[in-house]
Amino acid sequence: MEAASVFLQLAAILIGARLGGEVAARLGAPSVIGELAAGIVLGPSVLGWLEINDMIQLLAEIGIIMLLFEVGLETDLGRLARAGRKSVVVAVGGFAIPFVLGYATSRYAFGQEPIVALFIGGTLTATSIGVTVRVLRDVGRQNSAEGQIVLGAAVLDDILGVLLLAFLFHFSSTGELDLGGTAQLLVLIVAFFLLAPVAAKFVAYVMGHYRQLAQLPGLVATMIVSLIFLSAWVAHAVGAPELLGGFTAGIALSRRFVLPLGVALRRDARFSREVEQDMKPIVQLFTPIFFVAVGLSLDLTAVDWLSPFIWTFSIGFAFIAITAKIAAGYLLWREHWLMRTAIGMAMVPRGEVGLIFAELGRAAGLFDDSLYAGIVLVIAYTTLLSPFWIKLFYRLYGERRELVTPAA
Amino acid sequence: MEAASVFLQLAAILIGARLGGEVAARLGAPSVIGELAAGIVLGPSVLGWLEINDMIQLLAEIGIIMLLFEVGLETDLGRLARAGRKSVVVAVGGFAIPFVLGYATSRYAFGQEPIVALFIGGTLTATSIGVTVRVLRDVGRQNSAEGQIVLGAAVLDDILGVLLLAFLFHFSSTGELDLGGTAQLLVLIVAFFLLAPVAAKFVAYVMGHYRQLAQLPGLVATMIVSLIFLSAWVAHAVGAPELLGGFTAGIALSRRFVLPLGVALRRDARFSREVEQDMKPIVQLFTPIFFVAVGLSLDLTAVDWLSPFIWTFSIGFAFIAITAKIAAGYLLWREHWLMRTAIGMAMVPRGEVGLIFAELGRAAGLFDDSLYAGIVLVIAYTTLLSPFWIKLFYRLYGERRELVTPAA
């Protein structure tokens, strides 16, 4: 493809994201909805001006990695760790409940084959870490107590999703249960999470000192981006989602990151400020491409709107998809119900993670066209509607004492 | 290609550029040489770790467009216009002299076909606007009097090169001289140059005012980049090189840009500062990719170093390539000889523009392997050696009164 046509596509994506985001914000909706809607309008669903291609896909992946980098940068690892037990409860519940309900309903109410039912259940386990984080940021709750629990749970959900995908993929192609391979993958991912931030912190520390010796400008922009790319590549190499590489690089560069075992490296506040300031425009440039690309990849013309199956299937499973995640929030039985609801609602959007599951199911020949369309609709409902409820919820209850947490 | 492998390649490119640039700067060489060398080392010439692919190519093109945007942003259009007559002399001389000498030498000393000789002459007309601008910046002469003349001449040379390429391409495929088509292309490019900055200025003006109304962060990063992409796309659509789209967008956003006919829009200094600050990391991120990509595309293993032809051809044409451009500087007969030499030397690097000519000649079946290798060597000599002379020249004569111009 010619570079010039990619430039035109990128300009359309960035301008569309801006217009959509601003209109959504004006209307009181979360701006991420505007960006997703811009993708739906520009893409095959409505105007058909743009299609996902390799270039847009790559830049979109850079966008989500950069967003997760920024989320990591703003994350207080101590608070995330303190939220840890609760995050585990929400992640495991938010994984198991939709999986079991999705499997049972597909198998017994819709009479699907066991392997197809397993993939449908798998699709429902997803949590869109990108949409979830963006909505929390749009409503100003990223660093709240529930925000930390949701962030941890979304990260864990992504890992559980990858493990399940690897497991199901092996099962669907060989018919064997590959517990050993899945366990090995889990060990690698855990090792990545333990080692990557330490390694990245070491690199950042060297960079921060070397900075005074650098003769050329642009050290932060080029070297921090390299560190993020390397971390994403290592994440991919061990079998983890690439965006978690961005997250761990961000964690490592966070001002609040301290090495374990009390080995605190001297913090260089000026370097941290430079990183934040120089990375901001880069993150802002790439991130909207991701959300527009999610909209572009939702092809709503593939849906046969007149078939009764589509309606029963998509509404039935959307009901399961939503209630199962909210139920996961309610597993935190010691929390106030507002807190439990807020956490559960934030986990609802399936977004790009659900689309990856659905796409793999289709590629494996398990989902036919109508099944795929139904699943895409479920993903669209959860992704497009839950930001509205979340915003509405915080407008109604956001000032309640049970939700207002002390500043970090 | 998998996204993860692109991430690894990009990290290698950015880290290689940084290491090469820093080492070059330490050794007193221009840092651009280090970045080009990093590409040669990483690419097929030495290690063979990386190859140019569509993704790297696209990001490299974004890099050169961004660099030209920044050059435009720092350009004083008034000074550029005052340098204009001299730029025209240097551009036309620097185009005609190497073309005629290159054609005559290929035709009569090396006995090439007329159309082949025309392409060889065409390759020698090129000026690498990227390398030229970078070297002037590395030696701190970007905004000097000679810097402005060279910038103008390099831009004009790029346009003349495009016109010649279109003309030769038509001639080589149909055997007809397409003067009408070339004239039409010229008119379109001139119209682009007159209208694009005004249109871009208008958009920037609207954006600057709208900025206060924007609800979402990241306006500058996303909308200025969109403006640059749109401008590059329009440049391509009218037949001009895409990088000139970046240049005109930069000109339009320059603090010193005033509309013609005295219609000066109120300048918004705060907006200008925001543009400069937010675009800096984006430019710094993409630009090194371009210079490394130029190095990657120089495949020096294609050269048969034992053939006498390669040596006579490449050294002979390198001599022509260098003296012809310096002769063009000497056409400014009223200037001091130091000024004339500085200008001529800055025009020597052929870089990516020469490679495009050579690649088209090969694709059209006009250059066989040994001819192509010889031309690539000529391009490599002019691109890799002239930054050294330029730096040495300014070390020797840079403080001389004839070269020190009043600050802008």
Q: How many Cα atoms are found within 13 Å in the side-chain-facing hemisphere of A365?
A: 2
- Nearest CB partner across the interface for A288, out of B3, B7, B222: B222
What digits encode the pLDDT tens for the residues B290-336? 989 988 988 888 777 888 888 899 999 999 999 999 999 999 888 88
d(CA A92, CA A99): 10
The answer as to whether A408 is a domain residue is no
Q: Name the residue with tokens 């449908």.
A: A120
Best mutation target, A5, A27, A216, to test chain B (most B CBs within 10 A) = A216
Q: The domain containing residue B202 runs over which residues?
A: 3-397
The answer as to whether B405 is a domain residue is no
b/e sequence B333-361, b meaning 16+ C-beta within 10 Å: eebeebbbbbbbbbbbbbbbbbbbbbbbb
How many contacts does A have with B, using Cβ atoms within 8 A? 161
Decide if A61 and B3 are in contact by the 8 Å CB cutoff: yes
Helical packing angle, A145-174 and A242-253, nearest 10°: 150
Best mutation target, A5, A229, A273, A280, to test chain B (most B CBs within 10 A) = A229
Q: Name the residue with tokens 């002459």.
A: B121
d(CA B293, CA B213): 40
Q: Does residue B186 register a pLDDT over 60?
A: yes
Helical packing angle, A269-297 and A219-238, nearest 10°: 60
What digits encode the pLDDT tens for the residues B107-121? 999 888 888 999 899
Spell out, as residue ranges, where chain A has pLDDT lower than 70: 1, 256-268, 404-408
Query: CB–CB of B336/B318 below 8 Å?
Result: no
Please, what is the Cα angle at A280 between A276 and A281, to 5 degrees?
145
E strand or H helix at B316: helix B308-330
DSSP conformation class of B142: T
Which residues on chain A are in Cβ contact (under 8 Å) with B17?
Answer: 222
Count of C-beta atoms within a 10 Å radius of residue A49: 14
CA dist B181 → A400, B176, B184 (Å): 72, 11, 5
Decide if B220 and A57 are in contact by the 8 Å CB cutoff: no
What pLDDT does B23 receive?
92
d(CA A81, CA A76): 9
CA dist B343 → A49, B179, B193, B340, B390 (Å): 47, 31, 24, 5, 10
Residues in chain A: 408
Which residues on chain B are in Cβ contact (under 8 Å) with A21?
Answer: 215-216
d(CA B224, CA B227): 5
- The CATH number of residue B143's host domain is 1.20.1530.20
Query: CB–CB of B222/B278 below 8 Å?
Result: no
> Got the DSSP string for B52-98?
--HHHHHHHHHHHHHHHHHHHHT--HHHHHHTHHHHHHHHHHHHHHH
Structure tokens at A71: 């989320």
d(CA B379, CA B2): 33
d(CA B393, CA B381): 18
Query: CB–CB of B84/B92 below 8 Å?
Result: no
Query: CB–CB of A65/A245 below 8 Å?
Result: yes
Which residues on chain B are in Cβ contact (under 8 Å) with A55?
Answer: 54-55, 58
Helix (H, G, I), strand (E, B) or coil at B90: helix
Count of C-beta atoms within a 10 Å radius of residue A234: 22
Q: Which amino acid is located at A100 in the chain? A: V
Burial class (CB in 10 A: 0-12, 13-18, 19+), B381: buried
d(CA A247, CA A245): 5
What pLDDT does B405 receive?
58
Query: CB–CB of B378/B384 below 8 Å?
Result: no
Query: CB–CB of B151/B85 below 8 Å?
Result: no
The answer as to whether B404 is a domain residue is no
Q: CA A56, A61, A64, A70 torsion: positive or negative?
A: negative
Per-residue pLDDT, averaged over B343-354, amounts to: 87
What pLDDT does B258 receive?
57
Query: CB–CB of A358/A369 below 8 Å?
Result: no
- Nearest CB partner across the interface for A232, out of B4, B226, B284: B4
Q: Does residue B27 register a pLDDT over 50?
A: yes
d(CA B228, CA B192): 14
Helix (H, G, I), strand (E, B) or coil at A123: helix
What pLDDT does A284 receive?
94
Q: Which segments of A175-266 does DSSP mark as H helices, in order?
A: 179-210, 219-238, 242-253
DSSP conformation class of A108: I
Which residues on chain B are in Cβ contact (under 8 Å) with A137?
Answer: none
What pLDDT does B1 receive?
64
Helical packing angle, A54-73 and A3-26, nearest 10°: 50
The answer as to whether A403 is a domain residue is no
DSSP conformation class of A262: G
What pLDDT does A43 receive?
92
Query: CB–CB of B205/B42 below 8 Å?
Result: no
The answer as to whether B261 is a domain residue is yes
The answer as to whether A77 is a domain residue is yes
Structure tokens at B404: 């020190």
The answer as to whether B376 is a domain residue is yes
Model pTM score: 0.86
What pLDDT does A30 receive?
78
**Model confidence at B257, in pLDDT bands (50, 70, 90)?**
low
What pLDDT does B268 receive?
65
> Got the DSSP string for A355-406?
HHHHHHHHHTT-S-HHHHHHHHHHHHHHHHHHHHHHHHHHHHHTTSTTT---
Phi-psi region of A303 (alpha: psi -120 to 50; beta: other; left: phi over 0): beta
Q: Which of A195, A314, A184 is CA-nearest to residue A245?
A: A195
Best mutation target, B135, B226, B282, B283, to test chain A (most A CBs within 10 A) = B226
Decide if B3 and A57 are in contact by the 8 Å CB cutoff: yes
Per-residue pLDDT, averaged over B190-197, amounts to: 83
**Model confidence at B406, in pLDDT bands (50, 70, 90)?**
very low
Count of C-beta atoms within a 10 Å radius of residue B76: 17
**Model confidence at B93, in pLDDT bands (50, 70, 90)?**
very high
What phi and psi values does residue B402 have, to the nearest 5 degrees?
A: -65, -20
Q: Which of A231, A163, A160 is CA-nearest to residue A193?
A: A231
Q: Does residue B346 register a pLDDT over 70?
A: yes
Percent of chain B with pLDDT over 90: 29
The answer as to whether B77 is a domain residue is yes
Residue of A nearest to B243 (CA): A4
How many angstroms away from the CA of A230 is the closest CA of chain B?
6
Best mutation target, A137, A242, A274, A285, to test chain B (most B CBs within 10 A) = A285
Structure tokens at B70: 């920044």
What digits encode the pLDDT tens for the residues A133-183? 888 888 888 888 888 899 889 888 888 888 888 788 777 777 777 788 888
Q: What is the number of domains present in chain B?
A: 1
d(CA B358, CA A182): 52
Sequence-ordered list of residues with C-beta below 8 angstroms from that of A15, at least 6 positions apart, any chain: B223, B226
Of chain B, the end-to-end C-alpha distance in Å amounts to: 48
Query: CB–CB of A382/A349 below 8 Å?
Result: yes
What pLDDT does A408 receive?
40
b/e sequence B261-292, b meaning 16+ C-beta within 10 Å: eeeeeeebeebbebbbebbbbbbbbbbbbbbb
Structure tokens at A129: 């870490």
- Nearest CB partner across the interface for A284, out of B55, B217, B229: B217
What digits encode the pLDDT tens for the residues B127-163? 888 888 888 888 888 888 888 899 889 888 888 888 8
What pLDDT does A6 receive?
94
- Nearest CB partner across the interface for B58, out of A55, A233, A287: A55
